[in-house]
Structure 1
Amino acid sequence: MFLKATLIIDTKVYFSKTGGISSPQKTSDFFLTISLATLSEVNIMNNFVAKQLGFVRRQAIDYVRNINDSASEIIPTGLKNNIKWNLGHMYVIHEKFAFQLTGQETNYPANFNKLFDPGTKPSDWNIEPPTLSQIIDLLIEQIERVESLLLSKLKEEINPHYKSSTGLIFTNVEQLLGFLIYHEAMHFATIKNIKSIIDN
């Protein structure tokens, strides 16, 4: 829908769906015509990526808050990883896609790559992992950094472009964050599955 906006000197804004002027006075008006629908669509898409990413991260955090540290390290029979590994892995991949690949400053705590990179597993750990509480604090701080630093840069191109191990090519910030929605949701589902096995 195309709307015409009339911006009045005293800062009041009047809108008319027909494109007519709804201001009671025309002599001191400054007219600004914009395509509000187009602007709205852009904002909705940008907000969608941000809100979905923040939503799935905070859902995961809320889910694990009441799990004790020892339970987070249980590896169910037939699986390679535990709840703690999945959370730490979410942090590491988020740091890579949201910050490293976009040219932002990264924050990898000591030994996080050795503990939580793709292909790692707790049975190979020979160093003390962080506590569940420490990982949760990092996950909270990380999503706040994403929202603070990247929401105004969603359409910015990344250089060089990034090609994933599966052949998927990423060219801008929004695409990287879109992938993180999928990645976070996948590992959140794994965490819930492990929790259900432990509880039963």
Structure 2
Amino acid sequence: MKKRHEVLFTQLESYRNYILGVVEQVTAEEADLIPQGFNNNIRWNLGHIYLDQYLWIQAVTKEKAPVTEQFNKWFGYGSSPANFTSQTPSVVELRILLKDQPSKIKEEYRNRLEEEFPPTEMGMHTIEQVLTRTIFHEGMHLQTILDIKKLL
């Protein structure tokens, strides 16, 4: 594996662990609060981070993402906690999924990072480019989570 790929996976895991540390003590009740001025809650942001990474890999590779369609209804772009059901993963379940995701992505895609695919609407055409984008996206949602936590 190329050195820059090792760095990419280290960053993916490191940033993810940071987010998990931020939400480690968040209770189920706190994770479901939507402060005034916000559209979503901490649980939604965590599920969205998890889903987004797989959806962008799917957008590039055209291979089925390992998430259910229901996950998209709960956490996809334009969704909200109003779409949650009794089947929606809890904050505890989401923390487990998020913790395992970087190693699963590394295992599945480490030898395919530079494989060329037709470009997405954002011009990305490799899994490496997707992971770089999703790390940035994750940081945006980290800030939202931090902002919500200040108001709890």
Structure 1 unaligned blocks of 5 or more? 1-41
Conservation of the 8 A alpha-carbon contact between 1:155 and 1:172: yes
TM-score normalised over the length of structure 1: 0.69
Specify which structure has the higher proportion of strand. Answer: 1
Once residues 28 and 69 of structure 2 are traced to their aligned partners in structure 1, the CA distance between those partners, rounded to angstroms, is: 19
* 1:148-183 deviations in Å (ceiling 9; x for gaps): 11122211112x3211xxxx2111111111101101
Which secondary structure state, in structure 2, belongs to the residue aligned with residue 140 of structure 1? helix
Task: From 77, 87, 90, give the equivalent of 1:118.
Answer: 77
TM-aligned CA deviation for residue 56 of structure 1: 1.0
Q: Which residue number corresponds to residue 77 of structure 1? A: 36
Unaligned runs of 5+ in 2: none
Greater helix share, 1 or 2? 2
Displacement over 4 Å in runs of 4+: none
1:55-98 superposed Cα distances (whole Å, 9 cap, x missing partner) = 11111112212111010000011111100000000111111123
C-alpha distance in structure 1 between counterparts of 2:84 and 2:19, whole Å: 27
Aligned partners of 1:99 and 1:106 also within 8 Å:
yes
- The aligned runs of 1:134-149 (5 Å cut-off) are 134-149=93-108
Within the candidate set 145, 151, 169, 2:123 is matched to 169
TM-score for the superposition, normalised by structure 2: 0.89
TM-superposed deviation, 1:133: 0.7
Equivalent in the alignment of 2:57: 98
Amino acid at match of 1:171: H
**Contact 1:98/1:146 (CA < 8 Å) preserved in 2?**
no
Q: Deviations over 1:42-65 (max 9, x none)?
A: 933222222111211111112212
CA contact (8 A) 1:100 1:106 kept: no
Aligned partner of 2:67 in structure 1 is 108
Match of 2:9 among 38, 50, 63: 50
Change in 2 beyond 3 A, CA 1:161/1:110: closer
Higher relative contact order (CA 8 A, sep 6+): 2
CA RMSD of aligned residues (A): 1.8
Distance apart, 1:125 and its partner CA: 2.0
Aligned pairs for 1:141-160 (under 5 A) are 141-158=100-117, 160=118
